[in-house]
Structure 1
Amino acid sequence: MSNNLSNININENNLIKNQYSISLLKECLDCKVIDEREVYNIQQEISLILIDLIKKYTNGQSTSVKTEVAEKLLISIWYAIDAYINKLGDIEKRVVELTAKNVKKVYLEGIKILEEDLVRLKDFYELMMSRKLNTNSIAYNDTLIELSSFFKNYVIKFEAHDIPVSIDYPLALDDMDVQGIYYVKNYIESIDIENRFCNLFKKKDREKLFYDYGVTYKIDCDVILVNLFELIINNCIFSTILGNEATNLEISEYEYEFLEKQFKNIYNNIAEDEVRGYEESNIIELIEVGDNLDIEADNNLDYNDFEEINREIRINEKITLLLMEAIEGLIKRLSIEDEVLIRYIKKYEKIFIESVISSIKSNTFKSMVTVSKSKNEHLENYIIDDESKLDDESFRKIFNKILDSASIIEKIRIIKENINAKKDFIDILESECLFGEEYSILFASLSELELAILGSVVFYEDIRMKEINLLEFILNKKTETTLWKMEYIEFISNQSEDKIHSIEEHMNKIN
């Protein structure tokens, strides 16, 4: 090494989580801890490891492979190096080990760590499965079963960075910057924490909440990708604010209206004298906020601008304080002493508070609360007829809302609350404001009758010419070029035969 580490200031903000060792080497080069010659020597050592790995990959048959295979093996090598380097205590130790001219030793130690971590993770997976939720959520149950195959399919030497399983169930807190076994480790640990919280509530109460959510958004919660922890804790927090029992997840329409009014009052009724007093004592803070907002340091920012910024700060502070107190209250009332669970709730707290404040500002607060429904309410059909077709301007506004939304749950809510005509619904599908898996998620939220209505559009020509045979239609429509129709055919082809026949019966009635 070219310099004494005590004189070097490594900027850890420049280190990339899933390319840690590479980014650390770059930082060492920039800070002159090492020079270009030393970096070249490290690259040569990595090349020798790669050649050896290629021989093992080809069972000794060759020292060359396709470029994409070589890239995959190289990423796997660096992943193993990261595994070892990240186990070291501080940045100085990491730099010393990484630049000590024995990269192969670091790599082999990393492989050993990955093998040990895999054994420990398998044991923890079994523990997690022993206390998993009893729920009908298909995504939840399928994902937990799918995770078991990770331990059979994970190849440490050749694909250490890969996740050879399908993980569909969303977490409330998910770190997508992590790869390979450490992503799966985070996922299993997080879902176990979420399970521990959800299991504080009776199964019948959880299922009633999921039913209410399904009725509200006309979504079958068994098939939709919805996080159960998030649904439960949101209602639990609001229930605490209402003064209900900590385990009471039901919020009536009247209680929802009370909550909405309470938050709107905070947003709209910050007292004038309180605003001015706070402003006078915190003018420096306001100027700093102005700087953060990229407001030019000139005379363009007048008193009214400061007043508006100050008002925003006060609103956010009041709402934040109310929600933090509610979360602290539910932790006490549920007698949660599990420190890991408390830390998880506190991490979720930040996201939750931001979402509540945003929903109040955008007038979408209802999306934060699941209102209790009567058991007599059903998932009603919403593709009705063309009598209530939207005018062009209204349709354009709905389309833009859908396009601007980053959440498929929010997109489905917008569609179901605003689209009541078949033609509008088809126009939404034709406008391609949905992407990738969002089509199948939307189709999964529809009733069999609604799917049949769409099917009558997809297979219009076939229906005109002969009796409906949906399985035959699906096979004959492989050349379909319209995106939403292709997605529809793909979705239907993955359904059970019983469901397909049921949709077929509806289509016959429509015909």
Structure 2
Amino acid sequence: MKSSLREYVFLDKISEESFFKDILLRCYEKKILDDYILSKIYSERMELLREKLKYYTKDDSSSVMIEIAEKILNSIDYTIGIYLKSFNDKELIIDQLKNISLSEMLQRGQDLISEKVLESRLLFDKISENKLAINNYSYNDTINDGLSLFFKEYDAFFYSHETPCSIDYQLSFDNINYVGVEYMYNYLNDLNLENEFCNKFDIAEIVELLKGYDEQSEVLLINVFELVLVNALGVLICGKDLNSLNISNLDRDYIKNNLEKLSFDRLQEELLKHMRICCESLNIKNENLIAYMETATLKITSLVNESIKINKLEKVFISFKQDIYENNFKYIDGEKMPNSKFKDLTEEIRDCSLVNDKIILIKENIKSLEDLIDMLNAECLFDDEYIKYFKSLSKFESSLLSKYVCNLNFEGEYEKEWYNKFYEYILSLSDYEKREISEIKEKIQI
């Protein structure tokens, strides 16, 4: 225990960004390294800078701006820091500083950065493949455009401490203490975990949850993972299954009655208990995801506790927008797309290799039922892509399509793949979901 305490005191308040420089400063303050070794390290550090500047200027004798030299020196320090962090042990770090040249540390740090860039690329590819089919600009723009900048522009040799990217989407936890490839890896790793969790749910449920949170949710800087996790916990507290994420007014009353008399610690235990039930219900085995959900639940506890105190549970446990289903109404179709534009769109959809990209194109461009049917007939989707698209539909959209199918003259329609896939999708739904779609369908007048 005493050794662990000494480790903590030594590494406490060491910056992730300036790890190497902070370690040297701590060694100087605690007199862990003598002046000779510190002087030797400083000389080697300046020599490494001179070598890097030669590469930067292509051995030209012309001067380099001070700002550039400072950035390159920061890059050297960051890269050596990456190597030293790999030990996470005071004695081993000190041993490296005493016995290994900075040049060798720099090379090993560069190797570690190369590995981390490769791991980050694999995570990015996985995130792109499993992206949620939702309309949130910060989420889509970050994945489609912002993150890929890093892999095009990251300079591990001269500017390893910089993070060239454009990230708007907010995770449940930020990584502001990190820079360079460490920031990118941590962000991608956490986003991948959040996507893994959200993909356990019907995407239509998540779409309805976002609409229930705010009608303009597509333009908000929100974290989808937290919204889904909170409502999932609420559903489980009410003793319901996770087929639906909707929380009704009665559900909120039940949640309040069960939680309002609990102390903060007991409330935290209760939420953690249902978090573990959530993992069991969704068959989540990934220990990293479970740990992430646990940390998020601890964060959520304060939010739930405060909302109970001020009697604002509806701001935390979200209800779907269901008023439109209460009465019969006449559906008026949107404006049909010009033939040339429709042709270009269907070709673009067919050219997409990822089904999520196809779904986004469809949702962003097709605004009428007639165009939707034409698109389905145009064979833009194939095999299980149909099922994934149908799962992205809201309850109302599924009901509208079901109403159209019921009104068809079925001669020849059974030969169309999309119809058979839609029928297969409807059969896969729970009895509750089938009943809900049937009730909505009966209220629609096309």
Asked whether the 8 Å contact 1:55–1:63 carries over to 2, the reply is no
CA contact (8 A) 2:272 2:294 kept: no
Deviation at 1:167, TM superposition (A): 0.6
Offset of residue 365 of structure 1: 3.8
Preserved contact between residue 252 and residue 313 of structure 2 (Cα < 8 Å): no
8 A contact 2:268–2:301 mirrored in 1: yes
- Separation in structure 2 between the aligned mates of residue 327 and residue 369 of structure 1, nearest angstrom: 15
State whether structure 2 residue 183 is matched by structure 1 residue 183: yes
Give 2:277's aligned residue: 329
State the match for 2:342 in structure 1.
none
Partner of 2:92: 93
The Cα shift of 1:38 comes to: 2.4
Indicate the residue corresponding to 2:335 in structure 1: none
Distance 1:33 1:107 in 2: 22
Quote how far apart the aligned CAs of 1:254 are. 2.5
Indicate the residue corresponding to 2:213 in structure 1: 213
Q: Are 2:40 and 1:41 equivalent residues in the alignment?
A: yes
> Match of 1:372?
320
1:12-53 per-position Cα deviation (integer Å, ceiling 9, x unaligned): 224222222222222222332212342232122111111222
Q: CA deviation at 1:88?
A: 2.7
Quick one: distance in 2 between partners of 1:20 and 1:358? 37
User: What's 2:107 paired with?
Assistant: 108
Partner of 1:254: 250
Q: 2:137 maps to which residue? A: 138
Matched, 1:166 2:170: no
Distance 1:43 1:211, change over 3 A: same
Name the counterpart of 1:347.
295
1:356 to 304, 307, 328: 304
Q: Distance in 2 between the 1:373 and 1:257 partners?
A: 18
Gap change, CA 1:247 and 1:18, over 3 Å in 2: farther
Contact 2:171 2:223 in 1 (8 A): yes
Aligned equivalents of 1:157 and 1:327: distance in 2? 43
The one-letter amino acid of 1:263's match is L
**Residues 126-176 of structure 1 deviation map (CA, whole Å, 9 limit, x = unaligned):** 223222222222211111122122111000111111111101111112221
TM-score normalised by structure 1 residue count = 0.59
C-alpha distance in 2, partners of 1:101/1:123? 32
Instruction: Write the letter of the residue equivalent to 2:11.
Output: E
> TM-score with structure 2 length normalisation?
0.67
**Aligned AA (2:264):** N
Give the conservation status (yes or no) of the 8 Å contact 1:24–1:95: no
Q: 1:363 to 1:36 in 2, by over 3 A?
A: farther
What's the offset of the Cα at 1:221?
1.5
Tell me if structure 1 keeps the 8 A contact 2:149–2:166. no
| Distance in 1 separating the partners of 2:42 and 2:306 | 48
Distance 1:359 1:36, change over 3 A: farther
Confirm or deny: 8 A CA contact 1:242 1:255 kept in the other structure.
yes
Aligned residue number for residue 239 of structure 1: 235
| SS at structure 1 position matched to 2:138 | helix
Q: Deviations over 1:75-98 (max 9, x none)?
A: 111111012112236332222112
Structure 1 distance, partners of 2:43, 2:124, is 39
| Secondary structure of residue in 2 paired with 1:327 | helix
Q: Name the residue aligned to 1:70.
A: 69
State the alpha-carbon separation in 2 of the partners of residues 198 and 179 from structure 1. Answer: 27
Amino acid at match of 1:170: Q
- What is the Cα deviation at residue 351 of structure 1? 0.8
Q: Which residue of 1 aligns with 2:402?
A: none
Indicate the RMSD between aligned Cα atoms, in angstroms: 2.3
Using the alignment, how far apart are the partners of 1:227 and 1:181 within structure 2? 23
Partners in 2 of 1:257 and 1:62 — Cα distance?
75
- Identity across aligned pairs (percent)? 28
